[in-house]
Amino acid sequence: MGIPDKVVNRLTLYHFILDDLRENEEYISSTKIASLLNIDNSQVRKDIKYLEDSFNNGIEGKCRVGYNVKNLKLKIEERLGFKQTKDVFIVGAGNLGSALAKYDSFKDYGLNVLAMFDKDPKKIGTVINGKEVFDISKVGNLVQRLCVESAILTVPREYAQGTANYLAGSGIKYIWNFTTCILDVPKDVKVWNENLIGSFLQFTNNEKEEETKNDNRN
């Protein structure tokens, strides 16, 4: 069963916190997590309870001491599937595409960039952080050969819809869309819009509201 998106988002943030703790910190309280994220304590407890319920054995904890760091970390990793590698293509080897190809943190969370694609002859054949850039016309062939269904779309806005059509026709089923174009795709293709502009506007919208929470996307 899928986990609600907001819970996935928060569990990832909790994992960042756990990952930063030193070896000798064995327990962490929900209060500490909540305080770092500026969210409600009860929200943290609810999310961890949700995680707990998906396992037969619960998350180890000690009364008034908190959650066992190692155990909670492992459960989040297991539940969110950090160990199950998900292969993706990056389509668009420009600035953002290249930065994402070089973003090594992705690997720790199961994201594996297999190859990149572009239509610029100067970029085709180059290798970015170990990922070769192929001619976009090779997508269909490589989708079949490598059984890849997901693509990160980082082409310039004016090419976004055309490229999405092409990806859909090539067998790509999931598009993580970093462009500011809303894609009109066939029903069997799912799009996840990474809305950086919206994030920025929420961030600055925050500036006006002092009482707003740190992680108020959730």
Which residues form the interface with a second copy (CB under 8 A)? 2-3, 5, 8-10, 12-13, 16-17, 19-20, 36-38, 80-81, 86, 95-96, 98-99, 102-103, 105-106, 109-111, 149-150, 157, 173-174, 176, 180-184, 190-209, 212, 214-217
Closest contact distance (angstroms) between CB of 79 and a second copy is: 10
Distance (Å, whole) CA 173 – CA 189: 5
Strand partners, 153: 91, 177
Closest contact distance (angstroms) between CB of 101 and a second copy is: 9
**Residues 6 or more apart in contact with residue 101 via CB below 8 angstroms:** 90, 93, 113, 116, 128, 129, 131
Distance (Å, whole) CA 214 – CA 218: 10
Looking at beta carbons only, is 10 or 134 nearer to a second copy? 10
Closest contact distance (angstroms) between CB of 139 and a second copy is: 18
Looking at beta carbons only, is 34 or 138 nearer to a second copy? 34
Closest contact distance (angstroms) between CB of 104 and a second copy is: 10
Closest contact distance (angstroms) between CB of 135 and a second copy is: 22
Greatest Cα-to-Cα distance within the chain, rounded to the nearest angstrom: 62
Looking at beta carbons only, is 139 or 185 nearer to a second copy? 185
Looking at beta carbons only, is 63 or 130 nearer to a second copy? 130
- 3-class secondary-structure state, position 204: helix
Give per-residue burial for 102-125: e unless 16+ CB within 10 Å, then b: eeeebeeeebebebbbbeeeebbe
Distance (Å, whole) CA 37 – CA 22: 19
Looking at beta carbons only, is 142 or 191 nearer to a second copy? 191
